[in-house]
Amino acid sequence: VHSSFDKELARFFWQAGDGRPKYHMVKWADICLPKDRGGLGIPASRRMNVALMLCWVWRILQGD
């Protein structure tokens, strides 16, 4: 699920307006880097999912 979501998001960035694919000037992994490290700050779906699940576990353990 994560890879297909990331693939669709990358396809959105890498398509020209007429639906033709554009050339990849930067690797997708570099785009997902934080802004202070030269990326665009777009979170990778797998990392975001893990972070949200850990927040959920933390809330359960804290009794919220």
Q: Which residues of the chain have pLDDT under 70?
A: 1, 16-17, 19, 21, 64
Q: CA-to-CA distance for 64 and 56, rounded, in angstroms?
A: 10
Structure-token pair, residue 51: 């972070």
Q: CA-to-CA distance for 11 and 27, rounded, in angstroms?
A: 12
| CB atoms near residue 32 (< 10 Å) | 19
pLDDT at residue 41 in the model: 87
Structure-token pair, residue 29: 């992994």
pLDDT at residue 17 in the model: 67
pLDDT at residue 6 in the model: 77
pLDDT at residue 21 in the model: 67
